[in-house]
Amino acid sequence: MEGRNQTCVTEFILLGLSDEGGLQSLLFWLFLSMYLVTFTGNLLMILAIITDPRLHTPMYFFLSNLSFSDICFTSTTIPKMLLNIQTQSKVITYEGCLSQMYFFMLFVGLDNFLLTVMAYDRFVAICHPLHYMVIMNPKFCSILLLVPWILSVLTSLLHDLMILRLSFCTDLEILHFFCELIQVIQLACSDTFLNDLMIYLTSGLLGVVPLTGILFSYSRIVTSILRISSAMGKYKAFSTCGSHLAVVSLFYGTSLGVYLSFAASQNSRASAIASVMFTVVTPMLNPFIYGLRNRDIKQALRRLFSRETFSAYRILCFRIKT
């Protein structure tokens, strides 16, 4: 096929969200603001959990890892987009594109699995409260964290290795603000059957299986809550998983919206705009959902910014100067 060239592919062109020059400045400051809010919010969540001994429980252990994953998730795409806008360049190297796809898929998969693990944690806490600390012991929690990392690393690496076997045409323009796996595959001139098959298989692993686990956990949780006689008891039980349920709804709702927009529209740029909700807005809102709804997190944040902390900082600065 004319224009096919695998060995000479050195870069791709990221067309971004808009071609209009007047919007570039607006997009830069908008995405920079959202990235800083995402980074700061999730970092504060991690610091609050680490510094407060009362939050050293399985639930907050997984929450801190979710916040770390969200920071890395957005950091794989947004900084490169901001750099391209600032330098007025749309180029990303072939190696950079592969790296971006790898880390993006890794942290999306990790987010997915962590939400499932957190649903299981809530299931144990509500359905088996007397055995909670026995079941969710440190060793088991470490296993529940290690398995998602291994699965995410392996599936992301496999997709990247499958991309290496493809040859590409001379048209290397990607209608997105980052290297999205499906759109990169669509640029290939060679047979992509195996790549498409891998996408379907990993979608089942990273999508259907975790979602099934979440739905099963919450079906058992709802059943247990309905057995509680008092209205106050039902409220307290549900409030312990309300924040997680909101994050799960946001994560799967936005990812479903991206899929439907991609399937229904022939315009890939419309899909790219829809994916902003999934790739940027969701990680940005997660700290607010947990921070605003969770009294323990709010108290930990207050202690983090307490007068004692500020006084200790002033004393430290004074000693450094002297």
Q: Spell out a b/e string for 48-81, using b for 16 or more CB atoms within 10 Å of the CB, else e.
A: bbeebeebebbbbbbbbbbbbbbbbbbbbbbebb
Strands 11-14 and 91-93: antiparallel
158-199 pLDDT, tens digit per residue, is 999 999 989 888 778 888 899 999 889 989 988 899 999 999
Reading across the β-sheet that carries 91-93, which strands appear in turn? 91-93, 11-14, 173-174
The topology under which CATH files domain 11-307 is Rhopdopsin 7-helix transmembrane proteins (1.20.1070)
Task: Identify which has the larger pLDDT, 254 or 31.
Answer: 31
Residue boundaries of the structural domains of the chain: 11-307
pLDDT in tens, 7-58: 467 889 998 887 777 788 899 999 999 999 999 999 999 999 998 899 999 9
Q: How many CB atoms lie within 10 A of CB 263?
A: 8
Q: Residue 118: pLDDT band by 50, 70, 90 thresholds?
A: very high
Q: What is the pLDDT of residue 274?
A: 75
How far is Cα 76 from Cα 69, in angstroms, rounded to an integer? Answer: 11
Going by their DSSP bridges, the two strands 11-14 and 173-174 should be labelled as: parallel
Mean pLDDT, the chain, rounded, equals 86
For residue 279, give every residue at least 6 positions away whose Cβ sits within 8 Å of its Cβ, in sequence order, or none. 73, 74, 77, 178
Indicate the length of the chain as a whole number. 322
pLDDT at 95 over 50: yes
At 204, the pLDDT band (50, 70, 90 cuts) reads: confident
Instruction: Tell me what the mean pLDDT of segment 246-267 comes to.
Output: 77
**Assigned token pair, 200:** 């379907």
Distance CA 161, CA 51 (A): 40
User: CA 92, 256, 115 angle in degrees (round to 5)?
Assistant: 90
